[in-house]
Structure 1
Amino acid sequence: MSDRSKRAMKIVLTGNNFIEKSSLVRRYVDNDNERWCNYNKKELVLKGCKVALELWATFGAREFRTEEQYRGADGCIIVFSVTNRKSFEDLNLWRNELFSLGKPQNPEQFPFVVVGTKIEVEADRTVTKEEAQQWCDSFSIPYFECSSKAGTNVKEAFETIIAKVFDSQKRPNL
C-alpha cells in the first residue's frame, strides 16, 4: 500500500465519569479491560487503506475536560451506563459539548455512535433499550448496548463509527 492510501482518524469517547469509556477503548484495542487508559492508538486496514486510529476517552469531570480532547475529532462515541440514569439524561450535554469544544466543520453530518454500557448488570438497569434507541433515532445515531467486561458488541460499535468516519472523509489525509 502506498502512503497515498493512508488515513488518520481521531475518535473521541465522551460521557459522564465511571461509565467505562476507558474500558471500551482497552477492550477494543487489546481485548483487555483491566488497565485504565484515556488515549490509545490502533492501526488497521479498511477498504484497502491503512488507517491510523487515535482513540481518546475524555474525562467526565468538568474541571478536567479540555478543548484539546475534542479538537480535530473525526467521530464520536457518546457513552452512558444503562445502570446510571443521569448518564443517559446527559447525552445532549455531551453531544453539544463536542460541537462547542471540538468545533466540527459540518455538525449536521458529524459521525456519532451511542453506546450503553454495563449491560451485564441487568438487575441494576435504569434505562431501557427502547428509550435509548428512541433518543438515538431522533438524531439518526446508531445505538449499541455493550459490555466491556464481556466484550459484547464492543467491536461492532467501533467498526460502525470507524466506517462512518471513513465514508465521511473525502480523501486520504496522512
Structure 2
Amino acid sequence: MTSGTVPVVETPDEQAVIEATKDTETLPGSGTEAATIHRLDKVRLGPGDHGDALTTGYGIWSGVATEANPVLAPFGDAVPLLVLPVKFGLKKLLVAGGTAPARANVTIESVGAIGTCSNIAVLSGAAFAPAISLGLFCAIIYGDMLTKGYEKDTGRTLDGAPTMVDSDEPQAPDETGSSMI
C-alpha cells in the first residue's frame, strides 16, 4: 500500500458496456461465443396471445359473443383468464418435446392471431365464416412477419439453422449451372 497516491482506474464508457452486454448469452451449440438472444428465443407470451385473450374477454364479458372453440367453451366466462397460461404451457410443452422456442412462439402466437382477427371481425358484426377466413389471413401474415423479422435479426431460421444468402442478392450458379432462387 502506498500512501499519498491513488491509482487511476479507467472505467469503460457506461453506454458501451450496456450495449456490449445487452441481450447476450451463450446459446446452446454456439460454443464459447456470445450470441444475441432474440425475444423469440425464450418461451414468452406475445401480441398474438394477448390479442386473442383480450378480444375473447371483451366479447364474452360484454355479452356480444360466446366462445366458439368447443374445447374452451365449457369454461364460460373464465376462458380469457385460462387462455394465456394454456398457451404458455403449450409453448413449454413444445420446447420440452424438442421444438425450438422461436418455432413454438411463432406457431402458438399465429394461432392466437387467428383468434384475435376473427374475434375483431365478429365483434364488428361479421358472420362466423368470413371472420375465420380473415383470422387465417391474419395468422399467415403475422407468422410470416415474425419469421422474417427473426431471420433478419438473428441470421437463423426459427429452428436455429443458419439462414440462406439474402434473396435480394443474385446468387452464383450451383454445380449444375442453375442459380438458386
TM over 0.5: no
Instruction: Name the structure, 1 or 2, with higher relative contact order (CA <8 Å, separation 6+).
Output: 1
Q: TM-score, normalised by structure 1?
A: 0.30
Give the TM-score taking structure 2 as reference length. Answer: 0.29
Higher strand share: 1
Select the structure of larger CA radius of gyration: 2
